[in-house]
A = this chain, B = another copy of it.
Amino acid sequence: MTQALVLMTDFGVRERFVASMKGVAYSLAPTTPIFDLTHEIAPFNIWEASRTLAHTIAYWPSGTVFVSVVDPGVGTDRTSVAALTKTGHIIVTPENGTLSQVDKKLGIKEIYVIDQGRHLRPGAEQFHTFHGRDLYVYVGALLASKQLKLKEVGRPYQKPIIQLQIPEAEILPDVGLQGAITGIEHPYGNIISNIPYDWLDALELSPNNHPLVHVKIQHQEIPVFNEALMLVPSFGFVTEQKPLIYGDSEGCLGLALNQGDFAKVYNIEFGEKWILQIHKIID
């Protein structure tokens, strides 16, 4: 029986790119269900690709094949891989950091290097700029429909997975938590971090009591936000347009404005230079 095939790219949906990929997949595997994860990853933004993939995979059945194409190195000699997670999901992707957060969240068990000589779409030999169509979805559709086994894509990958530089979340000695701002959730502008929500227990804080918490954001070590926010279960517990801190739907701490855009109002972005700190307010 076929598994589902789920596609993620930074191609947008205005151009022919995604539809050409789906045509290739449907031609090879007409009974394979094809879904979109998103095609609106910010162009070339491997960080956003990795986080988005890591936070979506687990909601799909084990065996689902994900094709991720955020590939600034297309046509160069960068490595292409197919990876199996400990949860039984498969990811076909350029090996450029995309797998790093998937590994952190789900664990990666096996990785194989795609043998481009054997698995390029027939007829695509002269093209070097669209491996989403000519390599990744071609391999992905064959894997999802069981026409190709994972081990048949190529030799085992021997190197460590390329890592994105993400500051690890940590518990600070002076009753605080620190981590990186790992994303901005469009279209709302919510801030998400890699600080686990249940670390609030270490600070003896619960959203049920709506405590005020001291929240700092630093960009390249310069403070850009420094306020006491109410810790609440969800957005609607504060007045409209007021800021709040909450546990997001992936189990980490987030910041938002109720029905407003936190990132825009406070001019916050994400990445390894954006640090979030939380401190308990002691009366």
User: Which residues of A approach B to under 8 Å, CB–CB?
Assistant: 4, 6, 10-16, 18-24, 26-27, 30, 33-41, 43-44, 52, 55-56, 59-61, 64, 72-76, 78, 126-130, 133-134, 185-188, 197, 233-237, 246-249, 251, 254, 258-259
Report the Cα distance A258→B4, complex, angstroms.
33
Contact A61 B19 (CB under 8 A): no
Contact B186 A129 (CB under 8 A): no
Report the Cα distance A251→B74, complex, angstroms.
16
Contact B12 A186 (CB under 8 A): yes
Minimum CB–CB distance from A82 to chain B (whole Å) comes to: 20
Minimum CB–CB distance from A227 to chain B (whole Å) comes to: 20
Contact B234 A19 (CB under 8 A): no
Q: Which 3 A-B pairs have the closest CB atoms?
A: A75-B234, A23-B59, A130-B249
User: Of B15, B37, B41, B73, which contacts A185 at CB under 8 A?
Assistant: B15
Minimum CB–CB distance from A25 to chain B (whole Å) comes to: 9
Report the Cα distance A214→B255, complex, angstroms.
50
Contact B19 A72 (CB under 8 A): no
Please, could you name 29 A-B residue pairs with CB atoms under 8 Å apart, sorted by A? A10-B187, A13-B36, A14-B40, A14-B186, A14-B187, A19-B35, A19-B59, A20-B55, A20-B59, A21-B59, A23-B59, A26-B33, A27-B61, A30-B33, A34-B35, A43-B188, A72-B259, A74-B234, A74-B235, A74-B236, A75-B233, A76-B234, A78-B236, A126-B247, A128-B233, A128-B247, A129-B235, A129-B247, A129-B248
Note all chain B residues with C-beta closer than 8 A to A14: 38, 40-41, 186-187
Note all chain B residues with C-beta closer than 8 A to A234: 74-76, 128-129
User: Of B26, B44, B247, which contacts A60 at CB under 8 A?
Assistant: B26
Note all chain B residues with C-beta closer than 8 A to A129: 234-235, 246-249, 254
Contact B36 A76 (CB under 8 A): no
